[in-house]
Amino acid sequence: MTLLRDDDLARAFDHASNTYDRLTAMNPGYRCDLLRSARRLRLPRGGAGLHLLDLGCGTGASTRALLKAAPYAQITAVDASSGMLERALTKPWPARVRFLHLTAEELHTTGQGPFDAVLASYLFRNVTDPDGVLAAVRALLRPGGRLAVHEYSLSGSLAHRTLWNAVCHGVIIPAGTLTGDRDLYRHLWRSVLTFDTAPAFASRLTRAGFADVRTMPVAGWQTGIVHTFLATSAYPSATTTAVS
């Protein structure tokens, strides 16, 4: 199966937007793991005076996590899927949260930012040019700004790869088939298998000019399958520490 990309992927997310929250709710720890990644940014003063970016916000679960981790911050949330954004906008939000229909590259060219921190959840597997998106993110961040990437990125262990295949074929793809979104959830399955392992993505962050790169696992059944990657936009020699 060919992976979905760009406009085809955005349309698939548009179609899935009305059932997306129900399906992600089937994943134990989904929202708790997003909140843990947002809190790993360690934003001071509850985010007071800070401008944060939620890149690839989807229906707003990651935006809600950022808001809980930094309740006083100004948050800009962006996504390439208009359907997912429409779903996000049906939920209550404070005035300091705004949603934009843009990609990371488009956001950079519109003069948005700079941002004090960026949370990117389940994004980099889905872009055609992850290095280009990382360059755009680095340009959007203030010097020393913080980045947290919450992503399906396998540890490299055969056991974790086998577990991912079993969960996809036993739960995720059948559930997506029932909602008429089989292609999107087959894309999810394949995209994780073909994306960087956790050590490889950490190395990609370092090559992109990020410093202080760290890799941290999530809890529960997704340990070794989903990781939080932390980095800063500063330029001292980066030290990569893998914890998985």
- Indicate the residue type of 16: A
pTM: 0.94
The tokens describing 122, both together, are 């389940």
Query: H/E element holding 23?
Result: helix 6-24
Distance CA 171, CA 56 (A): 24
Q: Would you state the pLDDT for residue 25? A: 92
CA dist 149 → 70, 137, 234 (Å):
17, 11, 16
Residue 63 in domain: yes
Q: Would you state the pLDDT for residue 104? A: 79
How many structural domains comprise the chain? 1
Residue 69 in domain: yes
The answer to whether 141 and 114 have CB atoms below 8 angstroms apart is yes
CA dist 32 → 7, 118, 145 (Å):
30, 18, 24
Residue 88 in domain: yes
Residue 1 in domain: no
Residue with tokens 């947290």: 148
Q: Would you state the pLDDT for residue 116? A: 98
Domain that holds residue 78: 6-242
Q: Would you state the pLDDT for residue 1? A: 55
Residue 151 in domain: yes
Spans of the chain below 70 pLDDT:
1, 235-244
The tokens describing 45, both together, are 């003063």
Residue 167 in domain: yes
CATH of the domain at 216: 3.40.50.150
